[in-house]
Chains A and B, each alone.
Chain A
């Protein structure tokens, strides 16, 4: 990929320089705010109260990163984040792959309509579903003390289910997996059927392995999205501190960090919420890119 710029001409050389200047400037803007947060997490209360406040910590408070775990419910939040995000990811992958497989590899009445529905549903922004979904979970029959009419208890609210169930399917994922499943050769599936393999077995042992790159990419995408999800989790865990995830917990605890002297701990908590997922993602980056370049992006 040599692209359109020829660096042999003087104009080309200027462009090459410009290109790297642009990339470097952009990269600084990307990274600097994180550095600012990191330094903030290390400041002492005295450094914060000094006039003017001291920017470079002279006595770095590494202990703040420990305090995040001892003085804040960070462990609880982390546990919740892991439970909720892995369950959602597993559910979305399974439902997307299954539905995508059905839409790509079977002919049935309404197949076209179903595909259009999946595409159309992606156009509906989440904000329109927030209010009704809250009440559907609340009045869900036979859940959380509710009777058959959906009354008497609190439904799925104040349970992990409230955080997970409304995200058990992703229309985008269904569509994406359908695109990947299109590339699975029908002959392979038919051959397995002739050999007497059951449909579930065909799906899991033949179709799924063939779309692994897309499957993994979708998995990373979904995991990342829901690890960082704030709006819905905040809405249903406001009254259930035991179920709050890392970002929601940090947000709803903001009232404890209004005084200048407490802000180092807040910034340390923010850092703790950011760095592990960064490292994980950078490690998995390769798989993510591979799946995207395999044809997912253009849809």
Chain B
């Protein structure tokens, strides 16, 4: 063994050692631990008690809050994709063909380098119903001023818009990189054939950009389904629980009510959902990648 450790065969394992140790202690072990916990009733102050599938059954059959949080999660993830992707694609499109690129980039990246607590505490003031900046501007235009974060019917939409604002810079960056990777010769060939702007866009740009779009969709979907820090800080899950996404529900269940077993079950159910959705998207991604060539 000691001889092996010094041999050239062992070299890659020396380089991998920290990552392997980390993978065991902070990845495999916690996943197993959480799975075990999800089958117990545990408040961490007293020993865990094995309850089999009780936690899962409770969540799926009697919990009145669990499914609404799943709906909120899907609403949030879908909303950020539906609004964020076209918007950042459009901006990226304009950006790659404009002058003063470093100026635009600097401005669009400002929210990206801002911590989420600051983002929340900036927008709480902007979105304040009576004297917030947004409603003041709307009032000047003679428009109504809704309670952006207090009206249950639009609070999630507001959270989505703030999130899109936060993410716009990084998605724009990915799209503009994708646009820059499209070879100029395609455009020239199309122009020689007398294609108009729209034709070039729809027949060349869009298909060639498809892999990037799919990449952004997948990564944004996973992060959107799992995300809750903004809701925690901006709305604390309210009003009426309309911005309580499943991951936030899990977090509060674990650390405010010490229902660690049930919270672990929530985590696993949500993870299963994310996993399945990712696989479905990956399948589309593969097809999309093939089609593009």
**Do A and B touch (CB < 8 Å)?**
yes
Contacts of B102 in A (CB 8 A): 285
A26 contacts B26, CB within 8 Å? no
Contacts of B200 in A (CB 8 A): 4
* A32-B254 Cα distance, complex, nearest whole Å: 37
Contacts of A136 in B (CB 8 A): 25-26, 29-30, 33
Which of B51-59, B62-70, B122-130, B147-155 is the contact stretch?
B122-130
* A272-B196 Cα distance, complex, nearest whole Å: 49
Contacts of A230 in B (CB 8 A): 115-117, 229, 233
A106 contacts B30, CB within 8 Å? no
Chain B residues at the A interface, C-beta cutoff of 8 Å:
9, 11-16, 18-19, 22-23, 25-27, 29-31, 33-34, 37, 44, 90-91, 93-98, 102, 104-111, 113-118, 121-123, 125-126, 131, 133, 136, 165, 168-169, 173-174, 177-178, 180-181, 184, 187, 190-191, 196-197, 200-201, 204-205, 211-212, 215, 222-223, 225-226, 228-229, 232-233, 247, 250-251, 254-255, 260, 263-264, 267-268, 270-271, 274-275, 278
Contact A292 to B13, CB < 8 A, known contacts A129-B26, A228-B115, A230-B117: no
Contacts of B31 in A (CB 8 A): 124, 128-129, 132
Contacts of A293 in B (CB 8 A): 177, 180
A127 contacts B126, CB within 8 Å? no
Cβ 8 A contact of A128, one of B22, B25, B90, B271 = B271
Cβ of A203 under 8 Å from chain B: yes
CB<8 Å pairs between A and B, sample of 8: A4-B201, A33-B122, A117-B23, A125-B271, A131-B37, A136-B30, A235-B255, A270-B118
B98 contacts A19, CB within 8 Å? yes
* A297-B18 Cα distance, complex, nearest whole Å: 25
B22 contacts A169, CB within 8 Å? yes
Contacts of A127 in B (CB 8 A): 226, 228, 247, 250-251, 267, 270-271
Of the four ranges (under 10, 10 to 19, 20 to 34, 35 or more), the interface on chain A belongs to 35 or more
* A124-B106 Cα distance, complex, nearest whole Å: 31
Contacts of B105 in A (CB 8 A): 285, 289
Q: Taking CB as reference atom, which chain B residue is nearest A202?
A: B11
Contacts of A23 in B (CB 8 A): 91, 94-95, 98, 104
Cβ of A251 under 8 Å from chain B: yes
Q: How far is the CB of B235 from chain A (nearest CB, A)?
A: 13
B27 contacts A129, CB within 8 Å? yes
A135 contacts B118, CB within 8 Å? no
Q: How far is the CB of B134 from chain A (nearest CB, A)?
A: 9
* A11-B197 Cα distance, complex, nearest whole Å: 8
Cβ of A212 under 8 Å from chain B: no
Q: How far is the CB of A27 from chain B (nearest CB, A)?
A: 4
Cβ of A40 under 8 Å from chain B: yes
Chain A residues at the B interface, C-beta cutoff of 8 Å:
1-6, 9, 11-12, 15, 18-20, 22-23, 26-27, 29-34, 36-37, 40, 52-53, 55, 94-95, 98-99, 101-103, 106, 108, 111, 114, 117, 121, 123-133, 135-136, 165-166, 168-169, 174, 199, 203, 224, 227-228, 230-231, 235, 246-248, 250-251, 263, 266-267, 270, 273-274, 277-278, 281-282, 285, 289, 292-293, 297-299
Best-surrounded residue of A33, A117, A199, A247 (most CB of chain B within 10 A): A33
B113 contacts A277, CB within 8 Å? yes
Q: Taking CB as reference atom, which chain B residue is nearest A105?
A: B12
Q: How far is the CB of B26 from chain A (nearest CB, A)?
A: 5
Contact A30 to B111, CB < 8 A, known contacts A247-B118, A251-B117: yes
Q: Is the interface of A mostly helix, strand, loop or mixed?
A: helix
Q: How far is the CB of A281 from chain B (nearest CB, A)?
A: 5
B34 contacts A129, CB within 8 Å? yes
Cβ 8 A contact of B121, one of A114, A135, A270 = A270
Contacts of B268 in A (CB 8 A): 128
Given contacts A248-B117, A289-B105, 20 further A-B contacts (CB under 8 A): A1-B96, A15-B197, A22-B94, A31-B110, A94-B18, A95-B19, A99-B19, A106-B12, A117-B23, A123-B275, A127-B270, A130-B267, A132-B31, A132-B264, A135-B44, A168-B18, A199-B15, A228-B116, A230-B116, A298-B177
Contacts of A132 in B (CB 8 A): 29-31, 33-34, 37, 264
B133 contacts A32, CB within 8 Å? yes
Q: How far is the CB of B239 from chain A (nearest CB, A)?
A: 18
